[in-house]
Amino acid sequence: MPPIDAGAGRFAPSPSGELHVGNLRTAILAWLFARSTGRDFLLRIEDLDRARAGAEDKVLEDLAAVGLTWDGNVLSQTDRFPLYRAAITALADAGRVYECFCTRREIAEAPSAPHAPAGAYPGTCRNLSDAERERRRQERPAALRLRAGVTEYTVTDRLHGEYTGVVDDLVLLRNDGVPAYNLAVVVDDAEQGIDQVVRGDDLLSSTPRQAYLASLLGLAPVEYVHVPLVLNTHHRRIAKRDGAISLRTLALAGIGPGTVRDMVLRSVGLPAGPLEQVLEAFSPGQLPTEPWIFEPPVLDLH
């Protein structure tokens, strides 16, 4: 692919703890995709849900330690509420928003709407009368949901091709006043000029919802690249219980950040770093399509 003249890629971690090898692999791939196409590479901290004290600084330290560079300031979602409110207002003005009073238990126990896919919101609060809505407001605060006009939407992914997935009346604003992830990520990407989204393929199923929402907001489509995950030896997503999976714990086993970077590069068929020297060898068509099975070293802490 020839270099482009504008646009950006990004990595958007949550500051809920230390990055693990899977996070670092996705970040490195996002950087390679962006830099190899002449795009800027941006960092955004997605801190709407969970933020552990000091975690953001540690995230940035770990990314720099494996050789990642980024452009501009690092943005945080908690600083961007006015943008999300403006998007919700635009959707409301178009008749695309309604109040929802359902609890998670009520949603789980509700019968599915006819022909609705499994797991889709059944539309319980979609057509409440004014009187019923007023009564429910006395019981609990409302969330705001999108009044979707479709039940599925198709996106094109660089690695997966066309993918059609479920679209339901997704939450836009939680009943605690916090914007929902699916809204925030769409608004953020557009406002930051991000036109390439590289992330783990566990998020592919949520992409049609986000792409449909973007279309309702009149936003330009982006290029999606959902890359294979890193799994443990039991073929499950790696987690903290798997042992030495962060830079800090790997260092205890004598494996430094440069070695971790080279392990990641080797897992996608690339030579050892530094990253700038790897760009010429990077070819999206050569990326493996299967997950990387990562076996952490055994730590001797005695």
For the chain, what percent of residues have pLDDT higher than 90? 77
* pLDDT tens string 209-264: 999 999 999 999 999 999 999 998 888 888 666 656 899 989 988 999 999 999 99
Q: Which residues are annotated as a binding site?
A: 10-14, 46, 100, 102, 121, 125, 181, 199, 240
Q: Which strands, in side-by-side order, build the sheet including 8-11?
A: 8-11, 40-45, 75-76
Residue 235's pLDDT is what?
87
* pLDDT tens string 13-46: 998 878 999 999 999 999 999 999 999 999 999 9
Q: What is the sign of the dihedral through the CA atoms of 139, 141, 142 and 143?
A: negative
Q: Which residues are annotated as a binding site for L-glutamate?
A: 10-14, 46, 181, 199
Reference 208, options 226, 192, 230; nearest CA is 226
Residue 2: pLDDT over 70: no
Residue 298's pLDDT is what?
66
* pLDDT tens string 271-291: 998 999 999 999 998 899 899
Q: Which residues are annotated as a binding site for Zn(2+)?
A: 100, 102, 121, 125
Residue 1's pLDDT is what?
41
Domains and CATH numbers, the chain: 8-79+228-293 (3.40.50.620), 81-184 (3.90.800.10)
Reference 180, options 213, 208, 152; nearest CA is 213
Determine the Cα–Cα distance for residues 184 and 161; give it in Å rounded to an integer: 25
Q: Which residues are annotated as a binding site for ATP?
A: 240
3-state DSSP call for residue 173? Answer: strand
Contact predicate 147/169, CB 8 Å: yes
Q: How many CB atoms lie within 10 A of CB 219?
A: 16
Determine the Cα–Cα distance for residues 199 and 157; give it in Å rounded to an integer: 11
Q: How many CB atoms lie within 10 A of CB 77?
A: 24
Determine the Cα–Cα distance for residues 36 and 2; give it in Å rounded to an integer: 9
Q: How many CB atoms lie within 10 A of CB 280?
A: 9
